[in-house]
Amino acid sequence: MDAILLQILNGLDKGGAYALIALGLTVIFGTLGVVNFAHGALFMLGAFCAVAVKAFLGFEKVTLDPENLTAWGTASEIRQPYIESWFGEFGTTLLNYSVPVSILITIPVMLLIGIVMERGLIRYFYKRPHAEQILVTFGLAIVAQEIVKSAFGANPIPQPAPDAARGMIDFGVAIGFEAGNVVYPAWRLIYFLFSTAIIAAVFAFLQFTTFGMVVRAGMVDRETVGLLGIDIDRRFTIVFGMAAVVAGLAGAMYTPILSPDYHMGMDFLVLSFVVVVVGGMGSLGGAVAAGFMLGILQSFASMNEVKNILPGIDQIIIYLIAVIILLVRPRGLMGRKGQMEH
């Protein structure tokens, strides 16, 4: 029982990342009708926002200390981040919490990237075939990836979680298991909570605000909304920016779990697309549900007990599920008639 609970917990953080990316993909698809293969790149850019913030905060002042000599007989260096020398304690805290702090930077940066991307490129592709949308965004993803590679190098850059969240939480004790059985890294739990909060925020925004209402109306019938005198294109641009922000935040917060490198976006993109298709193109709830479901299934498949019965299942489980779902329920789990039917 506790082993099962542990696997569910293990799947939640990854599932959260899948769900966030898939949510953005679905929103973009539902509003703009565009298949965005560059969404993984947005996830990756978000992660590198966190890297950049950390690097920026971590600029160090190097002073030589002639009192202490290193083993080579030279004066040893004292490295102190500028931010500590300027702000003292607060600077240290800021540096420690660089990943959560980076959210503040990630939001405006990703919003800008998303809006520029939509206005500059995507809007010319609304009327073009899906194949061309896929291809142009695929090209864009490669470009983004290579720019990041030339700026940050090809190696993964580890990002530490804040000290307070670095340990493990004995999660089982809280719900009545014996101590030491269900131990779970704190940051992953935070990530899960963070992702559910974002998902809830997106749903609330679409459900309870006038803006969201217009967007939902536009998803159903774009033309009529336009005839009512609403500038739907502008709203959709903002929606694209929001989807970029969601993907970026998912990436930035994921950095302590997976050290970001330039191709992490592509890895997640393929899986997220599978998630979207399994959930049902155009269904927001489906995307979220499928994201968590596949994340959890993946963690179950990587249990040794399962791997002994079906070797290699952990490598292919997501794709296998996708194939089965698409063949049994062609519109995905919660797909509706009329979405993406040509």
Partner 1 sequence: MKIFEMNKSDAILFLCFSAAILAGPILLTPIGAGYPDLLQKFAIFGIFALGFNILFGLTGYLSFGHAAFLGVGSYTAVWTFKLLSMNPIPAIILATVVGGLFAAAIGFVSLRRSGIYFSILTLAFAQMSYNLAYSVLTPITNGETGLQLAQSDPRVLDAAFGRDYGAVLPSPDFFGISMSGYPGFYFCAIMLIICFFISMRIFRSPFGLMLRAVKSNQNRMNYTGLNTRPYAQAAFVISGMFAGLAGGLMAVTDPLAGAERMQWTASGEIVLMTILGGSGTLLGPVIGAGAIKYFENIFSAFNEGILMNAFSFLPESLQHLAVGITSLFVGEGWHLTLGALFMLIVIFLPGGLMEGFNRIRNRFLKRSGDGSGGTADTVPAAAE
Rule CB under 8 A: which residues touch partner 1? Answer: 35, 121, 124, 128, 130-132, 134-136, 138-143, 145-147, 149-150, 266, 270, 273-274, 277, 281, 311-312, 315-316, 319-320, 322-323, 326-327, 330, 340, 342
* Nearer to partner 1 (CB atom), residue 242 or residue 271: 271
CB of 146 to partner 1, least distance (A): 4
Question: What's the Cα-to-Cα distance from 201 to each of 179, 197, 208, 292, rounded to whole Å?
Answer: 34, 6, 10, 17
* Nearer to partner 1 (CB atom), residue 34 or residue 250: 34
CA distance 252 to 265: 12
C-alpha 113: how far from chain center: 15
Q: Using CA atoms of 257, 262, 265, 270 in order, give the dihedral in degrees to the nearest 10.
A: -110
* Nearer to partner 1 (CB atom), residue 259 or residue 302: 302
CB of 45 to partner 1, least distance (A): 14
CA distance 123 to 140: 14
Q: 246: closest CA among 29, 52, 25, 51?
A: 25
CB of 279 to partner 1, least distance (A): 12
* Nearer to partner 1 (CB atom), residue 3 or residue 320: 320
Hey, how many other C-beta atoms are within 10 angstroms of the C-beta on 230?
A: 14
CB of 78 to partner 1, least distance (A): 33
CB of 221 to partner 1, least distance (A): 21
CA distance 101 to 159: 13
Give Rg (Cα) of the chain.
Answer: 22
CA distance 178 to 151: 48
Question: What's the Cα-to-Cα distance from 198 to each of 57, 191, 211, 216, 264, rounded to whole Å?
Answer: 26, 10, 17, 18, 21
Please, are residues 118 and 234 in contact by the beta-carbon 8 Å criterion?
no
* Nearer to partner 1 (CB atom), residue 169 or residue 271: 271
* Nearer to partner 1 (CB atom), residue 143 or residue 193: 143
CB of 273 to partner 1, least distance (A): 6
* Nearer to partner 1 (CB atom), residue 130 or residue 222: 130
CB of 15 to partner 1, least distance (A): 18
- Burial class from Cβ neighbours inside 10 Å (0-12, 13-18, 19+) for residue 72 reads exposed
CA distance 9 to 178: 16
CB of 138 to partner 1, least distance (A): 6
* Nearer to partner 1 (CB atom), residue 92 or residue 150: 150
